[in-house]
Amino acid sequence: MPALESNTRIAVIGAGAMGSGIAQVAAQAGHPVFLHDQREGAAEAGRAGIARQLQRRVDKGKMSQQALDDIVGRIHPVAALEEVAEAGLVIEAIVEDLDIKRALLSRLEALCTDDTILATNTSSLSVTALGAGMKHPERLVGMHFFNPAPLMALVEVVRGLATDPTVAETVHATASRWGKKPVYATSTPGFIVNRVARPFYAESLRLLQEQAADAATLDALMREAGQFRMGAFELTDLIGHDVNYAVTCSVFNAYYQDPRFLPSLIQQELVAAGRLGRKSGQGFYRYGEDDERPQPQTEAMRESRASTVIVEGDLGPAGALTERLRAAGLTVIERAGKGQIRFGQAVLALTDGRMATERAATEGCHNLVLFDLAFDYASATRLAIAAADQASPEAIDDACALLQRAGFAVSRVADRPGLVVMRTVAMLANEAADAHLHGVATAADIDLAMQAGLNYPDGPLRWSDRLGSHRVFTVLSHLQRSYGEDRYRPSLLLRKNVFANKGFHHE
């Protein structure tokens, strides 16, 4: 279906940060926009706030004054809800309360023309449930923008059980015309992003609870090895722990307490203490003027007498380490083997989801040191290692020295299954696989949503394809056996892909 024409009236109900942002996006696309809020003066304040935001761009030479005037001139604050009746698309962005939203949608349905599309910007409520009280729920669709709406590219176009497919297609095309990256999702708890992203927070929180490392170190590893924009702790401090914890609890309860979405006791304590992150001045970090961010734990520089590296077999996703070691001036000998590196007394291998101590005992390799996943081993600046309890101090020194020679800052974490980046990526891929299996969205839309909505370095399913379904499946299976919990159960679709020897983008 074609997008709405630029002369189509767009109405936005709710002039808070999100509603004003959506109004700005529509006005920038050339639409006349009617902004309504039941609070007296709120719509006018919303338009004034948009003008202030755009003025900063003018002051920096990124926008002309005429462009600003044109955009703001297309935004019309309206006092009465009846004034939006002729709009072609009405987007509600009011409080996240099912009953209040239902009441508004019923009023809009009675006021607006039969052709008006009604959209909800809900981030957590069921579009199906919101439409259940309407006479024509087929005209209702989710249009979930991300904050701040003018800057964030993603829009989740959410289809309720009754949503007319042509309505969803029109909204999808319109969001694309507005310069956004829309994705289709069915109305299930969390839609795409708020569901698939849960492991990103959950695994770091669990590792912190298990004292694998401190928050600063775990965050640094996710940034400097995983190439995520932020680590879980700095991101939840930014979001606000009250908000992030509430979303986790909502998804957990919506999925009937599935252990995959289990909330964190640590985050519960932060909320109880009022340590909500940046907005309260303290979360995992302190945000006072004189407070300095704690530094990640980094191993002191080590020396080793060894100068020859033996690479045995295929290192898989860590294959780029071979050239990086050569570039560091080390002599590298390649020979057949099971995918490991020997240097001095150390035997290094990429984590497969088992603890180093367990793997060392099983494989009879006492000086085993496991290293973590990196998004790109050629450019990563930090890498986590975990040593088996059986490993000698000399072997650990050799492992650190080798990676430091290659230019890595080395963070030694406690011996926990899957280390840090590997277990997080495996769990993200697993949740994405289940979302795809359950028809929430296509593999392409899931990957696009996670990149456009959360700035992930790659989509979790495409990342899984790069690692190989078998590797991800193995990591998850080892995590499940280590913990004895259903939380780490591999997705049925991932399991099928392993036996079919294919990825998510080759179906």
* First vs last C-alpha separation in the chain: 26
| H helices present in 112-162, as ranges | 127-131
Parallel, antiparallel, or unpaired: how do β-strands 308-312 and 340-343 relate? antiparallel
DSSP characters over 234-298: HHHHHH-HHHHHHHHHHHHHHTTT-GGGPPPHHHHHHHHHT--BGGGTBSSSB-STT--PPPPP-
- Would you say 305 and 258 are in contact if contact means Cβ atoms under 8 Å apart? no
Place of tokens 């999702």: 185
| H helices present in 388-457, as ranges | 393-405, 421-437, 443-454
How many angstroms separate the CA atoms of 195 and 247, rounded?
A: 9
Cis peptide before 137 (omega within 30 of 0): no
Whole-number Cα distances in Å, 482 to 89, 369, 431, 442, 485: 52, 18, 19, 31, 8
How many angstroms separate the CA atoms of 225 and 315, rounded?
A: 17
Place of tokens 């024509």: 136
Q: What would the two tokens of residue 398 be? A: 């050799």
Strands (E), 149-204: 154-159, 181-186
Distance, C-alpha 381 to centroid of its chain: 22
Which pairs count as long-range contacts for 432-435, CB under 8 Å and 24+ apart, including other chains?
432/196, 432/459, 432/460, 432/461, 432/464, 432/504, 433/461, 433/464, 433/491, 433/493, 433/494, 433/504, 434/491, 434/492, 434/493, 435/188, 435/192, 435/195, 435/196
How many angstroms separate the CA atoms of 444 and 427, rounded?
A: 18
Strand, coil or helix: 427: helix
Distance, C-alpha 263 to centroid of its chain: 16
What is the DSSP secondary structure assignment for residue 332, as one 8-state letter? E
Active site residues: 123, 144, 156, 194
How many angstroms separate the CA atoms of 446 and 302, rounded?
A: 43
Query: Cα angle at 52 between 51 and 54, to 5 degrees?
Result: 65
Q: Position 138: which residue type? A: E
